[in-house]
Amino acid sequence: MSQVASLDLVQEDIRKVEELMYAQANRHHPELQAAINHLVISGGKRVRPALALMVGEMLTGDKEHIITLAAAIEMLHTATLVHDDLIDGSLLRRGIPTLNAQWTPGATVLTGDFIFASAARLAAETDSVRVMRLFAETLATIVNGEITQMFRSHGLASREDYYQRIYAKTASMFELATGAAAMLSPVDENQINALRKFGYEIGMAFQIVDDVLDFTGDQVRVGKPVANDLRQGLITLPALYYIEEFPEDPRMKAVMSGSTSEKDLQTLVFDIRESGAIEKSIGESSEFIERGILELQVLPDNPARQSMIDLSNYIVNREL
């Protein structure tokens, strides 16, 4: 985390967010506490809470409520990961064993539920009905997206489908982080809307970069096998660019019908990498970032705003 200089401004508050996350399991069952501790420790870069905290800094929002909001959002994010890993049967995340690698499905479901409950409890502690509403809407969007993905027809590869999916999966929560933090700050509707838009744009970019990393990242650093999405028949932006150029590639058709061989998959990944699809995808994520940064023009020019711009640029450049 320390390598991301743009997070320095909110580093101390991120500690407070993490403490609040640990505290959710206090007075609850010891096994549950251990699980929550494990999940919080193995968390990622805390980009979502960092964004909420930066918005609060920029707008001199209510600090205590924004820390609570940031913890609520990171708990929500964590809960969705716990259930996702269970559903996918993933045994590792960020190179660390998942909960369901160690626990029964039942215990994993309930731990996810408990983390959802903690997230809801924290969100309620922001004392803002409007934040609560956005929070609940976002949860519904995320889960509906997962259900749509689960029931999706094999062989579906459309941009519309892709953008909807990454909005539900990622951008909706970024939008929540920036929008809800604005709602807890002394600003007008115009600025709240600009910050929701900002969160949306950089969230979309963040997921596109994640999808690119699935093609280009090395297995050890990313903590999961390369081209995991494609292996599961999930068509992300690099694959979409490739399909647009080579609509008849039989290997892609095999991937989409769920009948590919590992060897074909590997040569396909190689060809996608060589096709320019990666560069086009990165270019597209940069466009999202640029649109996001433009939204910040209506907001106060101060170090926090600069940190948000730095973090946005970091999102495209990380680990590529």
Which residue lies nearer to its own copies by CB, 128 or 260? 128
Residue 29, SS3 per DSSP: coil
Which residue lies nearer to its own copies by CB, 72 or 240? 72
Instruction: Decide: is 160 part of the binding site for its own copies (CB under 8 A).
Output: no
DSSP notation for 37-50? HHHHHT----HHHH
Binders of its own copies among residues 87 to 116 (CB under 8 A) are 87, 105-107, 109-114, 116
On the CB side of 253, CA atoms within 13 Å amount to 5
**CB of residue 257 vs its own copies: minimum separation in angstroms?**
20
DSSP notation for 114-141? HHHHHHHHHHHTT--HHHHHHHHHHHHH
Residue 94, SS3 per DSSP: coil
**CB of residue 183 vs its own copies: minimum separation in angstroms?**
13
Which residue lies nearer to its own copies by CB, 37 or 267? 37
Distances (CA, A) of 190 to 68, 133, 264, 297: 24, 19, 51, 12
**CB of residue 92 vs its own copies: minimum separation in angstroms?**
18
Residues paired with residue 93 on neighbouring β-strands, in sequence order:
96
List the x/- string, 286-315, binding to its own copies by CB under 8 A: ------------------------------
Asked if residues 9 and 54 have their Cβ atoms less than 8 Å apart, the reply is yes
- Of 145-153, 163-171, 251-259, 264-272, which segment contacts its own copies by CB under 8 A? 145-153
List the x/- string, 19-58, binding to its own copies by CB under 8 A: ---------xx-xx--------------------------
**CB of residue 164 vs its own copies: minimum separation in angstroms?**
11
Query: Cα-flanking dihedrals φ and ψ of residue 313, to 5°?
Result: -65, -35
Binders of its own copies among residues 251 to 280 (CB under 8 A) are none
Instruction: Decide: is 75 part of the binding site for its own copies (CB under 8 A).
Output: no
Residues in CB range of 318: below 8 A, 6 or more apart:
209
State the DSSP H helix or E strand holding residue 93, giving kind and residue range, or none if neither. Answer: strand 92-93
Among 9, 123, 272, 311, binds its own copies (CB under 8 A): 123
Residues in CB range of 23: below 8 A, 6 or more apart:
none
Q: Which residues bind its own copies (CB under 8 A)?
A: 28-29, 31-32, 83, 86-87, 105-107, 109-114, 116-118, 120-121, 123-125, 127-129, 132-133, 135-137, 139-140, 142-144, 146-148, 150-151
